[in-house]
């Protein structure tokens, strides 16, 4: 069986050279007589890997001084709790921009620890758009302003960074981090689950401005306290070492490919091709407002819903995997993260045209 | 470089057939055209893997009806928080048996959520022993009684299950689970990080009596609420899929080897050989009381501390890795979990004799 094109929204496809390297490193890693999964996180070899991964990520994202990079467990969803627990700092409210399923979940979890306010929402008729910032209600008393730059399910993406004034800006970057350069200095904190553009499930990256760390609520579980994790270099307990290793390989792969500028060009080209094909047809339709169409997750609906099942069956047979749309949107969704080759997008476009011709 | 014998306390050595299988499954798994790291946790193939892993673990441990098995993230240390958050159920205290570093950490974390009491302690002169249960101070008002059946650092292991009466018994089984049969029905809850006998870091198994689930404190992060995770079959968010997959392979390997009775015989034989060699020599010494010597972690001290460095250097050159003892104990420590072959223990014993002869 050859490798097929896997459009899964996450866990998502990995770069082929990364998979090849993982295989080569089994069952021995670095001539140690042991695999990377079996060595102590406190041994010299793993510590070197961890430090190099952090350095490479900092270089790719050009992280300015004054930030800490944490490699944690639990997924972005655990950060839905950790963010208010750490960043409320005695304040009673925080602002949330609600642009879809994931920002809504983050908002709900914050309600456990404070009285969050919805600064803006696209619920209802405008599900597939982002309210203009001029219409947001920002609260100067908010501990932070949280938003979700890319909503994985609806495929709604910010192509701009909100202005939060003096209030720290917080972003769930899970499905957009490393897809393009990012001005980290604009943020108080960003976080991202690894299973889309960083590597595999089990690792969560948090990048946080140092001055925001150190005032966690007293009920914060020790491992969720950023100060505790920062002090122990993310090794307060055994980290998810294998996922950290995979991330280090992905960072190397991005660097070798020219870094985030090159990645952005590539991603934009892939996305524009696919949206172009969808827009050129009456058979397919993308529901998202043009200015906030995601480069990473492209939902598309068939004019005739009755054809969904055969589209899925035939696309799978054609080697195009995991195209089923999320039930909240229906139809199809192609997740085309960094690791999806342009050839995969080309194959999808070709299949879509062929399917339309035969329908 | 051949595979060497890795005595790391965790992340620890894996069974060779498991490593071989991981390699074979790359870059394609089950003919899917994708690796197991890249498929959706909600896809049919991964769901089948997850269900089979749970079933196999339940069968190995003969888990009675009325328990839930959860596959979580965060390590056993995150359970130090999750246990009181979920199991206090309105009570103001819990009992902790403090027999070493790990039980002490669990006790400290519980102090965030209640006023825990130390039911028994081996601190000070009796660090390497377990107080007889007759001397424990059990509080009938305690929400639960927590203990650590195997202290990884000092190598102190319970070879009996405490009687907690009507109070639910809770155990951190990280470094002893699956080393022998276990009477789960005696416990309210057990938990274990995977990186010793279950697989790799990133996965934490929790087995909890259903009637204890559903009364988490209001400040409990959603993902740490056992009721939430039980309801979603441990997929409230993306789980650490690769570690779950590795666990499934380890469970298969244990089953193929005859299950936990066979594993217990094997582990006891390995441990007795090593303790026998240590006791037979004046050159080496194990500080632990005989009746609570661990089958899994065997610390040993050289009569002359000045030889530690050359012991480590020469043992590494002889293909025996990661024997350095924890700084709290000093000397050496051989962790001989399920996956350490008897031949590895034999090699260690041979090396120790040779080193003693040459010293």
Contact A222 B81 (CB under 8 A): yes
Tokens of A258: 């020219």
Catalytic site residue B253?
no
pLDDT exceeds 70 at position B147: yes
Q: What is the pLDDT of residues B253-271, one digit of tens each?
A: 999 999 999 999 999 999 9
Which residue among A14, A238, A319 places its CB closest to the CB of B33? A319
Which residue in A207, A118, A130, A134 sits closest to A171, CA to CA?
A207
Domain range summary for chain B, segments of one domain joined by +:
17-256, 259-358
Which residue in A179, A250, A121, A38 sits closest to B38, CA to CA?
A250
Contact B238 A8 (CB under 8 A): no
Q: What is the pLDDT of residues B290-299, one digit of tens each?
A: 999 999 999 9
DSSP three-state, residue A229: helix
Catalytic residue among A102, A136, A244, A295, which?
A: A102
Is the pTM higher than 0.95? The answer reads: yes
Q: What is the pLDDT of residues B90-129, one digit of tens each?
A: 999 999 999 999 999 999 999 999 999 999 999 876 679 9
Q: What is the pLDDT of residues B36-64, one digit of tens each?
A: 999 999 999 999 999 999 999 999 999 99
Which residue in A35, A33, A26 sits closest to B20, CA to CA?
A26
Q: What is the pLDDT of residues B64-77, one digit of tens each?
A: 999 999 999 999 99
DSSP three-state, residue A167: coil
Contact B240 A243 (CB under 8 A): yes
State in words which class domain B259-358 has: alpha beta
Catalytic residue among B95, B127, B172, B225, which?
A: B172
Q: Could you please report the per-residue DSSP string of A187-206?
A: -SEEEEESTTTTSSTT-EEE
Which residue among B11, B217, B238 places its CB closest to the CB of A38? B11
- The count of residues in chain B is 359
Q: What is the pLDDT along chain A (359 residues), one digit of tens a residue?
A: 678 999 999 999 999 999 999 999 999 999 999 999 999 999 999 999 999 999 999 999 999 999 999 999 999 999 999 999 999 999 999 999 999 999 999 999 999 999 999 999 998 766 799 999 999 999 999 999 999 999 999 999 999 999 999 999 999 999 999 999 999 999 999 999 999 999 999 999 999 999 999 999 999 999 999 999 999 999 999 999 999 999 999 999 999 999 999 999 999 999 999 999 999 999 999 999 999 999 999 999 999 999 999 999 999 999 999 999 999 999 999 999 999 999 999 999 999 999 999 98
Which residue among B11, B73, B219 places its CB closest to the CB of A39? B11
Q: B interface mutation test: which of A12, A33, A41, A71 has the most B CBs within 10 A?
A: A33
Residue A23 distance to chain B (closest CA, Å): 6
DSSP A133: G
Cis (ω within 30 of 0) for the bond into A11? Answer: yes
Q: What is the pLDDT of residue A220?
A: 98
Which residue among A33, A113, A242 places its CB closest to the CB of B1? A33
Q: What is the pLDDT of residue B175?
A: 98
pLDDT exceeds 70 at position B167: yes
C-beta of residue B334 within 8 angstroms of C-beta of residue B274:
yes
Residue B352 distance to chain A (closest CA, Å): 20
Instruction: Give the E-state strand segments of B231-304 in sequence order.
Output: 284-285, 297-302
Q: What is the pLDDT of residue B125?
A: 62
Beta A320-321 vs A297-302: how paired, if at all? unpaired
Residue B195 distance to chain A (closest CA, Å): 8
The rounded distance, in Å, linking the Cα atoms of B325 and B305 is 12
Tokens of A150: 């890319």
pLDDT exceeds 70 at position B1: no
Report chain B's terminal Cα–Cα distance, integer Å: 28
State in words which class domain A257-358 has: alpha beta
Contacts of B322 in chain A (CB under 8 A): 39-40, 43
Catalytic residue among B196, B225, B244, B295, which?
A: B196
Phi first, then psi, for residue B243 (nearest 5°) are: -65, -35
| CATH node for A17-256 | 3.40.640.10
How many other C-beta atoms lie within 10 A of the C-beta of residue B303? 12
Catalytic site residue B172?
yes
Which residue in A207, A209, A214 sits closest to A192, CA to CA?
A207
Q: What is the pLDDT of residue A1?
A: 61
Angle at B164 between CA B158 and CA B170, to 5 degrees: 65
Residue A237 distance to chain B (closest CA, Å): 7
pLDDT exceeds 80 at position B133: yes
Residue B132 distance to chain A (closest CA, Å): 30
Q: Is B28 exposed, middle or buried (0-12, 13-18, 19+ CB in 10 A)?
A: middle
Q: B interface mutation test: which of A36, A108, A201 has the most B CBs within 10 A?
A: A201
Which residue among B112, B200, B217 places its CB closest to the CB of A218? B112
Which residue do the tokens 């080393």 mark? B179
Contact B218 A112 (CB under 8 A): yes
C-beta of residue A180 within 8 angstroms of C-beta of residue A264:
yes
Catalytic residue among A95, A98, A172, A225, which?
A: A172
Which residue do the tokens 């498991």 mark? B18
Contacts of B85 in chain A (CB under 8 A): 221
Catalytic site residue B273?
no
Instruction: Give the E-state strand segments of A270-347 in sequence order.
Output: 284-285, 297-302, 320-321, 332-335
Which residue among B11, B219, B242 places its CB closest to the CB of A219? B219
Residue B32 distance to chain A (closest CA, Å): 8
Which residue in B327, B319, B336 sits closest to B274, CA to CA?
B336
Contacts of A30 in chain B (CB under 8 A): none
Contacts of B78 in chain A (CB under 8 A): 73-74, 221, 223, 237
Tokens of B245: 């997959």
Q: What is the pLDDT of residue A276?
A: 98
The pLDDT confidence band at residue B3, using thresholds 50, 70 and 90, is confident
């Amino acid at each position: 069986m050859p490798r097929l094109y896997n459009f899964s929204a996450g866990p998502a496809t990995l770069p082929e050279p990364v998979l090849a390297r993982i295989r080569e490193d089994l069952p021995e890693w670095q001539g140690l007589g042991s695999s990377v999964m079996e060595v102590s996180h406190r041994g010299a070899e793993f510590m070197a890997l961890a430090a190099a991964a952090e350095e490479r990520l900092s270089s790719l994202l050009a992280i300015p001084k004054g930030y800490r990079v944490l490699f944690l467990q639990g997924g972005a969803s655990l950060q839905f709790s950790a963010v208010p627990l750490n960043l409320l700092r005695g304040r009673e409210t925080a602002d949330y921009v609600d642009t879809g399923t994931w920002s809504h979940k983050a908002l709900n979890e914050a309600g456990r620890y404070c009285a969050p306010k919805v600064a803006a929402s696209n619920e209802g008729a405008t599900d597939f758009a982002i309210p203009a910032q001029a219409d947001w209600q920002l609260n100067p008393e908010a501990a932070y302003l949280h938003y979700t730059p890319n909503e994985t399910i609806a495929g709604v993406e910010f192509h701009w960074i909100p202005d939060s004034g003096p209030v720290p800006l917080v972003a769930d970057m899970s499905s957009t981090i490393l897809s393009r350069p990012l001005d980290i200095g604009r943020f108080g904190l960003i976080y991202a689950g690894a299973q889309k553009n960083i590597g595999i499930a089990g690792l969560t990256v948090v990048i946080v401005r140092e001055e925001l760390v150190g005032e966690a609520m007293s009920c914060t579980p020790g491992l969720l306290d950023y100060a505790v994790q920062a002090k122990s270099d993310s090794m307060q307990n055994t980290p998810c070492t294998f996922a950290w290793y995979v991330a280090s390989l992905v960072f190397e792969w991005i660097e070798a490919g020219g870094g985030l500028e090159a990645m952005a060009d590539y991603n934009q080209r892939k996305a524009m091709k696919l949206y172009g094909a969808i827009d050129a047809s009456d058979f397919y339709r993308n529901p998202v407002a043009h200015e906030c169409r995601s480069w990473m997750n492209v939902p598309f609906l068939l004019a005739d819903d009755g054809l969904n099942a055969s589209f899925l069956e035939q696309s799978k047979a054609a080697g195009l995997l995991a195209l089923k749309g999320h039930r909240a949107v229906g139809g199809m969704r192609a997740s085309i993260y960094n690791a999806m080759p342009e050839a995969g997008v080309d194959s999808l476009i070709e299949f879509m045209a062929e399917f339309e011709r035969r329908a």
